[in-house]
């Protein structure tokens, strides 16, 4: 028998688990923690994305229902939390467009284009209303 396989006696007279079994149990616990941690990180990323889009989604629902002021309020909360969310600016531009506030729509579209030059809806809105795109020659 090797030292690795020996069963040690304790002072209480009980036999201790062999070292190899203790190592195997420790490895199993470690693997479970790593897998559980990966699942936790994935769940947190999903929840974070859901929280990120919450006000944007609510604003879109209000906008689709024709409740423009409520939609603008939700987009404002989104921008307070995430000031670089160009999508909220695009959506606010769309709401202002539906309200007939064209200058504010163009202003919001310009902010979206500053944050994301490829924001197609904002570029299209600006070009359609002014014949040019803010920030471009």
Q: Is residue 9 helix, strand or coil?
A: strand
State the pTM of this model: 0.57
How does pLDDT run across 12-41, given as a tens digit for each residue?
666 777 777 777 777 677 666 666 665 555
CATH superfamily of 19-130: Tetratricopeptide repeat domain (1.25.40.10)
Where are the domains positioned within the chain? 19-130
How does pLDDT run across 91-106, given as a tens digit for each residue?
998 899 889 998 898 8
What is the arithmetic mean of pLDDT over 97-120? 86
**What CA–CA distances, in Å, run from 52 to 2, 38, 58, 77?**
58, 21, 11, 11
């Amino acid at each position: 028998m090797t030292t690795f396989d020996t069963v040690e006696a304790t002072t209480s007279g009980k036999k201790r688990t062999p070292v190899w079994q203790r190592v195997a149990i420790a490895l199993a616990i470690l693997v479970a923690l790593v897998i559980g941690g990966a699942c936790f990180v994935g769940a947190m990323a999903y929840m974070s994305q859901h929280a990120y889009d919450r006000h944007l989604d609510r604003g879109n629902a209000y906008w689709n229902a024709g409740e423009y002021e409520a939609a603008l309020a939700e987009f404002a909360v989104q921008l307070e939390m995430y000031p670089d969310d160009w999508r909220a600016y695009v959506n606010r531009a769309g709401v202002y467009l539906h309200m007939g506030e064209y200058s504010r729509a163009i202003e919001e579209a310009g902010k979206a284009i500053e944050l994301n030059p490829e924001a197609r809806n904002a570029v299209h809105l600006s070009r359609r209303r002014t014949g040019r795109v803010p920030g471009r020659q």
